[in-house]
Amino acid sequence: MKTWNNKAWFFVLPVLLLVAFSAIIPLMTVVNYSVQDSFGNNEFYWVGLEWFQEVLASERFHNSLMRNLLFSAIILLIEIPLGIAVALAMPRRGWGVSVCLVLMALPLLIPWNVVGTIWQVFARVDIGLLGHTLTALGVDYNYTQDTFDAWVTLILMDVWHWTSLVVLLCYSGLVSIPDAYYQAARIDGASRWAVFRHIQLPKMRRVLVIAVLLRFMDSFMIYTEPFVVTGGGPGNATTFLSIDLVQMAIGQFDLGPAAAMSLIYFLIILVISWVFYTVMTHQDSESVTDNRQGGGQS
């Protein structure tokens, strides 16, 4: 029997209002814009799915999307293995633990636009430590003019900024493994690789799902740092979806197409996240059904 207590609504109400104002109402506004055209003067005309068709067919959108997908793929391919490797190398006990944790947390505490500014200065050819050193060493490096250099800079910056999040998540998974697992592995004569493959990786899987999802979503929505460092350039070389969207909405004030694009953008993130989640937790659900069958048998 459940007891219904209507007073509970008073406690939930503030949160509901907050969510309504911060998420639901703006989202509905965007939906509203996406199916209308406006000619200033607050006059709106119904255009149906025209904006969606236009955005989906536009080369500009395709290019930004491809750049974004490539960027996220590179970020995940670097940050996840690197994060795991660093977490494995971190000490498990002693004074080194807190030192490492503080060092790892530092980049995460820096505001995004500050990270952008730091790297913008760091990579400058004339005064930046990185840019100047590279140039002095004879490397042809200039992130404001060369597409490849701009990408390398942005990727380095993101790796520097966010790998420690993956490290911290993986580390939390690693320290939760009881010593007995390592002892049993020694008794069974398991190699270092086998310990990683059969003990550490499975125990980290849950946190890795979170890490992959967070890093995918964040890198796919990246805005502040490239905006500060490259401003989307050189040319459109680092114009990601978010930068494109802001240009369209605020630069050109094309509210209809911008609204349609943001909805498509949102759906893409949702779908890809869902795919990641489903694939990575597939094994879990498999063994859950296994359990039920086993329970029935025994």
Partner 1 sequence: MAKITLNNIAHSYDGGANYALKPLSHAWHDGGAYALLGPSGCGKTTLLNVISGLLQPSEGQLFFDDVDVSALPTERRNIAQVFQFPVLYDTMTVAENLAFPLRNRRGTDKLAAADIQQRVQQAITLLGLEVLANRKARGLSADDKQKISLGRGLVRTDVNAILFDEPLTVIDPHLKWQLRTQLKQIHRQFGHTMIYVTHDQTEALTFADKVVVMLAGEVVQMGTPQELFDAPRHTFVGRFIGSPGMNILPCELQGAEAIIDGYAVALAREYPALAGVIELGIRPEFVRLAGTGGDTGAQSGEGLPVQIVGVEDVGRHRIARARLHSHTLDIIVPEHQPIPAQPRVVFDQSRICIYQNSQLVSWEDD
Please say whether the beta carbons of 156 and 134 come within 8 A: no
**Is the CB of 42 or the CB of 289 nearer to partner 1?**
289
**Is the CB of 252 or the CB of 285 nearer to partner 1?**
285
CB 173, min distance to partner 1, A: 13
How many Å apart are CA 161 and CA 22, to the nearest integer? 27
Please say whether the beta carbons of 51 and 256 come within 8 A: yes
Confirm or reject binding of residue 184 to partner 1 (CB under 8 A): yes
Buried b (16+ CB within 10 A) or exposed e, 259-295: bbbbbbbeeebeebbeebeeebeeeeeeeeeeeeeee
Stretch 202-231 residues interacting with partner 1 (CB under 8 A): 202-203
Instruction: Map tokens 């320290």 to a residue.
Output: 175
**Is the CB of 47 or the CB of 190 nearer to partner 1?**
190
CB 172, min distance to partner 1, A: 18
Which window, 114-122, 146-154, 270-278, 284-292, contacts partner 1 (CB under 8 A)? Answer: 284-292
Which window, 1-9, 38-46, 193-201, 207-215, contacts partner 1 (CB under 8 A)? Answer: 193-201
Confirm or reject binding of residue 94 to partner 1 (CB under 8 A): no
Joined tokens for residue 48:
């149906």
Confirm or reject binding of residue 196 to partner 1 (CB under 8 A): no
How many Å apart are CA 216 and CA 211, to the nearest integer? 8
Confirm or reject binding of residue 175 to partner 1 (CB under 8 A): no
How many Å apart are CA 223 and CA 148, to the nearest integer? 19
How many Å apart are CA 50 and CA 52, to the nearest integer? 5
Stretch 234-263 residues interacting with partner 1 (CB under 8 A): none
CB 46, min distance to partner 1, A: 54
C-alpha dist (Å) from residue 223 to 20, 68, 98, 134: 25, 11, 32, 26
CB 212, min distance to partner 1, A: 18
Q: Which of 187, 192, 282, 296 binds partner 1 (CB under 8 A)?
A: 187
CB 207, min distance to partner 1, A: 15
Q: Which of 133, 252, 278, 291 binds partner 1 (CB under 8 A)?
A: 291
Confirm or reject binding of residue 176 to partner 1 (CB under 8 A): no
Amino acid at 214: L
Please say whether the beta carbons of 94 and 230 come within 8 A: no
Q: Footprint of partner 1 on this chain (CB under 8 A)?
A: 178, 180-181, 183-184, 186-191, 194, 198-199, 202-203, 283, 286-288, 290-291, 294, 297-298
